[in-house]
Copies of this chain bind each other. A is one copy, B any other.
Amino acid sequence: MLDQADLDSVFRALADPGRRVMVERLSRGPATVSELGEPLEMSLAAVLQHVQVLESCGLVRTRKVGRTRTCSIDPAALRSVEAWISQRRAMVEERLDRLAEYLASTADPPDAVLTWLTDTHGEPRENQ
């Protein structure tokens, strides 16, 4: 698992749409820096800078042979951020499920609960 500082840098790296395009491209297989730059309207120097950001946070590894730098994705960093998010999402959903069960078992749920559900989750849940 990544530590806090690594999570910071992975989330920051993924906050840029150009870098996400590169991660998407690399999910399909290794690519050279020039290949990564093709769909993006930016200089090779700019592409290289983004690659360095992706490399320093551990999302991407690169290997230089002659004048060509080939990039590939490192799934470990993706797994770590995915785990962080999915654990939180699972906690939230489990809590909402318990609330839904409570509502289903209660003929007359307190107004406060219904108001909170409507406010925080858009649609009021039906009380069956």
Q: Which residues of A contact B (CB under 8 A)?
A: 4, 7-9, 11-12, 14-17, 20, 23-24, 26-30, 61, 63, 72-75, 78-79, 81-82, 84-89, 91-93, 95-96, 116, 119-121
B121 touches A74 (CB 8 A): yes
Given contacts A28-B91, A74-B120, A85-B82, A8 and B16 within 8 Å (CB-CB) = yes
CA distance A95 to B31 in the complex (A): 14
Given contacts A11-B14, A75-B96, A30 and B120 within 8 Å (CB-CB) = yes
B75 touches A30 (CB 8 A): no
Residues of B within 8 A of A96 (CB): 75
Residues of B within 8 A of A78 (CB): 85, 88-89, 92
Closest CB in chain B relative to A55 CB, distance in Å: 12
Q: Which of A14, A91, A95 has the most CB of B within 10 A?
A: A14
Closest CB pairs A-B (n = 7) = A11-B15, A27-B91, A12-B15, A72-B120, A78-B89, A27-B88, A11-B14
A17 touches B4 (CB 8 A): yes
Closest CB in chain B relative to A97 CB, distance in Å: 11
A119 touches B63 (CB 8 A): yes
CA distance A9 to B16 in the complex (A): 9
